[in-house]
Structure 1
Amino acid sequence: MRILIADDHDLVREMVGEVLEREAQYSVAHASSIDDVIAILAKSDPFDLILLDYQMPGMNELAGLSRVLRTVPATPVALLSGVANRTIAQKALDAGARGFVPKTMKARSLVNAVRFMLAGETFLPADFMTATDELPETARALGLTRRELEVLGGLCDGLSNKEIGIRLDLQEVTVKLHVKTLTRKLNARNRTHAAMLARDMSLLDG
């Protein structure tokens, strides 16, 4: 099976690719933008699945997804994201995506999701679609996910990225991405400031 992973974050792209190569022996190709994807598709043999990062150059919300689907209508294409919410995930499915894969998924779950989509099924994690309903109102208003709140809890406890990863069973690079997203959403200067803001806004209460 041949998988094309498109993400402008080298570490994420390499991490996902390594998991699929190691755990499932898939052949993996890499791209960093929608233009790269289109160029690769033009000169390469067909892929069995394409994973597109939601925020990489050329995506323009879901316009990039539609562009790829038009280019290879017979190839399943899925959205890969660490920040997209359930509304975006549903819009991607409505646009023709084969599935939505959160970057925070554990290795085994990621492989199972890919196998599920390769088998012709549509993948969407049920817990992702319902998790935001359980979040505190302030967290929802800031666009925080349940996983981001869990990482934020680790920051408030003074844990390192590695320690947070061990606590949540996540790769350290995944935690690093969550911390980066958290500081942006909270408009924080750094991880310490993010923890202070979390306490001030009572984001972890309830």
Structure 2
Amino acid sequence: MKILIADDHDLVRDTLAAFLSLEPNLDVSAVESLPAATARIEAEGPFDLVMLDYGMPGMNGLRGLGEAIGLNGGRPVALMSGVAPRAVAAEALEAGAAGFLPKTIAAASLVHAVRFMLAGEKYAPIQFMTAPEAEPEAHPLADKLSGREREVLGGLCRGLSNKEIARELELQEVTVKLHVKTLCRKLEARNRTQAAMIAKEAELI
């Protein structure tokens, strides 16, 4: 059985790949982004199971999930995340994901989930899907940002260009450029890439 893991965190990606490679009859490949995953699917696929990190470069929310599902020839594609709320998990399953795997999942449960999805079943941990969601604590940086700045920051975190963000938010490109400059100042970031990294680490988006 061929499995493809896509995650931009080296430690998570390598740990998952090494762990699943210990299982009999599992041939595991690993890449660092959605573009790398789609290229690997086109070159070597379809895979018996593709596992995508929700927050990695190129995903653009659930758009990346749909793209991978379309490329993988009807074989299962699952979503992984350490921060996505239950609503995202439910939406992913509704969109055709074979499962949703919180990164807090225990090792034994991970193997069970992978085997379950390889068998053609859908997987989502009952405890995660039914537990009441706690109110998130506001990060100190959040108070510094306006609603519009958060929207622009969301675009940065998804790897969008100023032009793409402007089109999505129906703004002038020069306005987006000004927002990016302000965001870098407020977040004490050297550039847009660092601003996106700070936002992800602080879970602002």
1:184 alignment partner AA: A
2:116 alignment partner AA: F
Runs of at least 5 residues in structure 2 that lack an aligned partner in the other structure: 139-197
Alignment of 1:110-149 (within 5 A): 110-133=110-133, 135=134, 140-142=135-137
CA shift for structure 1 position 72: 1.9
Offset from partner CA, 1:44-100 (integer Å, 9 cap, x none) = 142100000000011011010011111124110000111111000001011110000
TM-score of the superposition, structure 1-length normalised?
Answer: 0.65
What secondary structure does 2:202 align onto? Answer: helix
Alignment of 1:27-176 (within 5 A): 27-133=27-133, 135=134, 140-142=135-137
Identity fraction in percent: 49
**Is the 1:98–1:121 contact (alpha carbons within 8 Å) kept by the matching residues of 2?**
yes
Runs of at least 5 residues in structure 1 that lack an aligned partner in the other structure: 144-179, 187-206
2:48 alignment partner AA: D
**Which residue is equivalent to 1:156?**
none
When the two chains are superposed, the root-mean-square deviation of aligned CA atoms in Å is 2.3
CA shift for structure 1 position 184: 1.4
Partners in 2 of 1:119 and 1:103 — Cα distance? 21
Partners in 2 of 1:117 and 1:11 — Cα distance? 24
Partners in 2 of 1:25 and 1:18 — Cα distance? 14
2:202 aligned to which of 178, 184, 205: 184
Partners in 1 of 2:120 and 2:203 — Cα distance? 36
1:47 alignment partner AA: F
**Is the 2:45–2:72 contact (alpha carbons within 8 Å) kept by the matching residues of 1?**
no
What secondary structure does 1:104 align onto? Answer: coil
TM-score of the superposition, structure 2-length normalised?
Answer: 0.66
Partners in 2 of 1:46 and 1:107 — Cα distance? 25
Partners in 1 of 2:64 and 2:83 — Cα distance? 17
CA shift for structure 1 position 41: 1.1
**Is the 1:24–1:111 contact (alpha carbons within 8 Å) kept by the matching residues of 2?**
no
CA shift for structure 1 position 181: 9.7
User: Residues 32 and 129 from structure 1, CA distance in 2 versus in 1: closer, same or farther, beyond 3 angstroms?
Assistant: same
Offset from partner CA, 1:141-171 (integer Å, 9 cap, x none) = 438xxxxxxxxxxxxxxxxxxxxxxxxxxxx
2:7 alignment partner AA: D
CA shift for structure 1 position 25: 4.7
CA shift for structure 1 position 26: 1.3
Q: For the pair shown, which has the larger CA radius of gyration, 1 or 2?
A: 2
**Is the 1:142–1:185 contact (alpha carbons within 8 Å) kept by the matching residues of 2?**
no
**Is the 2:80–2:102 contact (alpha carbons within 8 Å) kept by the matching residues of 1?**
yes
